[in-house]
Structure 1
């Protein structure tokens, strides 16, 4: 198999533009450099790195192994961004993936109260002191959420007041050729000039339609013709379509993934009672508990244990021994004042599995630094009726273990890193670093658009100066 995202560094890009940019070599500073996602894209566009900043030891080792030639390199390890002030060069671009944990749910959304959140103050200070021609900063989509509106506005206003036209947009890696549903906010600035200027515009999505099998090895490349279903079959009625379906979930098609969760419903949800030998009566009891555990009449939590007395009001002929059998099967347990599922967290999944994606899926869920319990099926399953789809998946994929975890190579491909990139030798660390990285093709196209503006504005400014 020859994945689309492989081979020479990023061969899907316009060679004529690359030649133009190489002739107009630009300089850049790589802040919060990580393992070099920004740098790969910028060097492909002809950029020369003058200095980099990364304080994580493991990430710095990978960065230096891939990019730094200690014999010929004249670039500087800038160290901690808090110690960076005036730089001794003319800088065209400053780029960086500013630490995202303070703005994400996983990082407890501490914002500026988190020391990592306050690193934005250093970013603003460095831009203001050194006045590059432009900048690109990346962060999690959570930075744009209403709860962070005041902080986000402060960042944008401060960068604007430093002398820049500033714009921001949430971009998805899928739109730039990667089969990953990864949304990140990019803040882009170019210097405000007194003369006529071209304004920056974000790049448009590519016309590619990637699939998981384009980026992941050793899985089926078979396409599946999807049957269209009315909402009565998929959801039980037109008014029962879940409102929170994602971009890659069609309302009239079966999902391209199966989620393992006892506390959720849906035509591609796998419950523990689907995997353990259970009677129809036991399945019914589990479904009653699942459908009622979020009811406010049983408590104010997002999921509440139900007592035996509570369940009796829902199943009048229920026997205590029936619940005890489900406890022995490790499907439910007694917690606080009642019964709750053992597998009561979606993030934990069931038996170490959160989701299994079909190989023909458009995109896998976002890779993260904290790891994932997401797998990919090695084979395709025909999209027949919902019941048959689920039955075949359990029989042919789950029971026969015909699915695979993501390898370090898969992580690299899903982030658009080139084949020659040397990852960290320890698997867990390498996956964490790729999960933290920027998607290379997104940065490439974004920088390409910004450079067009900067180069043209510089040309216009030189023309105005000469005419005076």
Structure 2
């Protein structure tokens, strides 16, 4: 059967003359970003023959870190869609193929998104150059049921051009970084090599630093052992199904979320930080509880009318609802119903979505778009959820004992070296790190590969 990618038209040719230095293996760095793959492969003895990156700001950071008089003849390949030919004698091709088409943030458009079609060029270049092996990285969304057919298509095409292909979702946390970052890694070995079927992905390292261990501002904070609590105390009898592997069912959470649409034991609502009476808090919690009831509409969150409130709280008065409007907790819709002003989860409250405690085992996934996440600069300890929440408000939120995530933090959370020269603008650098691959994961994936291929 003819390959789906065999009909791609010829592209612009690039010069292939370069100086070869004595290294263990050679590689090409596709979708190079700021060099996460390169750091890991060079540490293991690799020599980069060329790199491809179309983002000018990322390319500038890449060049200032890796391109010097020793490798000034290294090929800048540019736009992958315009590459006709790669340098000869490549051992490994690597790359973090653009992930937005397969992510929730990117609306899961897959191959409908032009960035999703870049996989066609990846496969075309692997087929043309026939490296001994390749390593590609993508968001875990590529392995979701919704995208599984697309993943299978990619794997089948890579197999069709002569490779034994394996994939696995790996988390940065399992390789020494306190970051919850799931990513799909796809590894292929050319099937004319002796051990082409023997590749195994690396096992977790069982090395788990906490957030405070890698951030300089938190070095003096002491860890206190958390108390064990009954799940009924933490969740009032109903454990939420959305909890991750990093949230224990018998411990208080390591973070606080600012949201009027949730009600976990570490959720901070607008009525927690605006002066409100107990009665007003009951009214707010009523809207929170019943806004998703199908009785009041088919949307995921429905506004409630005065009559709806009166069905639940018979003695409620319209003035009570309007007082919450004055306090900017509720707002009136066009049809005179009441909904929360803070009506989107990721928007948070007062420009804060999440504050992570320094004693946390894990930091949420860094993203290119960024999140309104902060790190507390003091720790708290409590034996009960209510005390925990009150302590947070008193010791952290009100005195503003928290700091934003900086590029320096992101650099460490992604496992880049401390001497890495990132972009001088903090927001640009954070975006670039959010797009990057976690360096230690690449290192251990590559170590296992080098055991198999004959270099």
TM interval, shorter chain, is: over 0.9
Q: Which runs of 4+ in 1 moved over 6 A?
A: none
Report the TM-score, using the length of structure 1 for normalisation: 0.90
Q: Which residue of 1 aligns with 2:119?
A: 120
Given that 1:260 and 1:349 are in contact with CA atoms closer than 8 Å, whether structure 2 keeps it comes out as yes
Whole-angstrom distance in 1 between the partners of 2:368 and 2:451: 33
- Deviation track 1:107-138 (CA, whole Å, cap 9, x = no partner) reads 11111111100000000000011000100001
Q: Does 1:154 align with 2:153?
A: yes
1:304, distance to aligned residue in structure 2 (A): 0.6
Aligned residues: 433
Q: Secondary structure at the match of 1:396?
A: helix
Whole-angstrom distance in 2 between the partners of 1:68 and 1:155: 32
Q: Which residue of 2 aligns with 1:165?
A: 164
Given that 1:225 and 1:383 are in contact with CA atoms closer than 8 Å, whether structure 2 keeps it comes out as no
Q: Which residue of 1 aligns with 2:264?
A: 266
Q: Which residue of 1 aligns with 2:427?
A: 428
Q: Secondary structure at the match of 1:266?
A: coil
Equivalent residue runs for 1:313-324 within 5 Å? 313-324=311-322
Whole-angstrom distance in 2 between the partners of 1:209 and 1:108: 32
Q: Secondary structure at the match of 1:116?
A: coil
Q: Does 1:291 align with 2:268?
A: no
1:191, distance to aligned residue in structure 2 (A): 1.1
Whole-angstrom distance in 1 between the partners of 2:256 and 2:388: 10
Equivalent residue runs for 1:207-222 within 5 Å? 207-219=206-218, 220-222=220-222
Q: Does 1:401 align with 2:400?
A: yes
Equivalent residue runs for 1:403-422 within 5 Å? 403-422=402-421
1:148, distance to aligned residue in structure 2 (A): 1.3
1:72, distance to aligned residue in structure 2 (A): 4.4
- Deviation track 1:33-79 (CA, whole Å, cap 9, x = no partner) reads 00000000000000000000000110011101111115642210011
Q: Which residue of 2 aligns with 1:304?
A: 302
Whole-angstrom distance in 2 between the partners of 1:196 and 1:224: 48
Unaligned runs of at least 5 residues, structure 2: 1-20
- CA spacing shift, 1:193–1:72, aligned 2, 3 Å: closer
Equivalent residue runs for 1:40-55 within 5 Å? 40-55=39-54
Task: Please identify, of 332-341 and 176-185, the stretch whose mean Cα deviation from structure 2 is larger.
Answer: 332-341
Equivalent residue runs for 1:174-193 within 5 Å? 174-193=173-192
Q: Does 1:392 align with 2:355?
A: no
Q: Secondary structure at the match of 1:448?
A: helix
Q: Secondary structure at the match of 2:62?
A: helix
Given that 2:193 and 2:453 are in contact with CA atoms closer than 8 Å, whether structure 1 keeps it comes out as no
How much is the aligned-residue C-alpha RMSD, in angstroms? 1.4
Q: Secondary structure at the match of 2:183?
A: strand
- CA spacing shift, 1:414–1:158, aligned 2, 3 Å: same
- Deviation track 1:157-198 (CA, whole Å, cap 9, x = no partner) reads 000111111000011000000000000101110111375656
Q: Secondary structure at the match of 2:370?
A: coil
Given that 1:99 and 1:139 are in contact with CA atoms closer than 8 Å, whether structure 2 keeps it comes out as yes
Q: Secondary structure at the match of 2:288?
A: helix
Q: Which residue of 2 aligns with 1:250?
A: 248
Q: Which residue of 2 aligns with 1:132?
A: 131
1:419, distance to aligned residue in structure 2 (A): 1.0
Q: Secondary structure at the match of 1:429?
A: helix
Q: Secondary structure at the match of 1:168?
A: strand
1:422, distance to aligned residue in structure 2 (A): 0.5
Q: Which residue of 2 aligns with 1:377?
A: 376
Report the TM-score, using the length of structure 2 for normalisation: 0.93
Q: Secondary structure at the match of 2:453?
A: helix
1:85, distance to aligned residue in structure 2 (A): 2.5
Whole-angstrom distance in 2 between the partners of 1:180 and 1:186: 17
Given that 1:94 and 1:136 are in contact with CA atoms closer than 8 Å, whether structure 2 keeps it comes out as yes
Whole-angstrom distance in 1 between the partners of 2:360 and 2:127: 44
- CA spacing shift, 1:110–1:197, aligned 2, 3 Å: closer
Unaligned runs of at least 5 residues, structure 1: 1-21, 459-468
1:281, distance to aligned residue in structure 2 (A): 0.2
Given that 1:211 and 1:362 are in contact with CA atoms closer than 8 Å, whether structure 2 keeps it comes out as yes
Q: Which residue of 2 aligns with 1:7?
A: none
Whole-angstrom distance in 1 between the partners of 2:352 and 2:364: 14
- Deviation track 1:219-273 (CA, whole Å, cap 9, x = no partner) reads 2531121111112211112xx1111111111001100001110110111110010
Whole-angstrom distance in 2 between the partners of 1:401 and 1:288: 30
Whole-angstrom distance in 2 between the partners of 1:186 and 1:126: 18
- CA spacing shift, 1:44–1:278, aligned 2, 3 Å: same
Whole-angstrom distance in 2 between the partners of 1:369 and 1:229: 36
1:88, distance to aligned residue in structure 2 (A): 3.3
Given that 1:112 and 1:118 are in contact with CA atoms closer than 8 Å, whether structure 2 keeps it comes out as yes
Higher RCO, Cα 8 Å, sep 6+: 1
Whole-angstrom distance in 2 between the partners of 1:125 and 1:23: 28
Equivalent residue runs for 1:21-170 within 5 Å? 25-70=24-69, 72-170=71-169
Given that 2:49 and 2:87 are in contact with CA atoms closer than 8 Å, whether structure 1 keeps it comes out as no
- CA spacing shift, 1:323–1:196, aligned 2, 3 Å: closer
- CA spacing shift, 1:139–1:400, aligned 2, 3 Å: same
Whole-angstrom distance in 2 between the partners of 1:236 and 1:47: 54
1:328, distance to aligned residue in structure 2 (A): 0.6
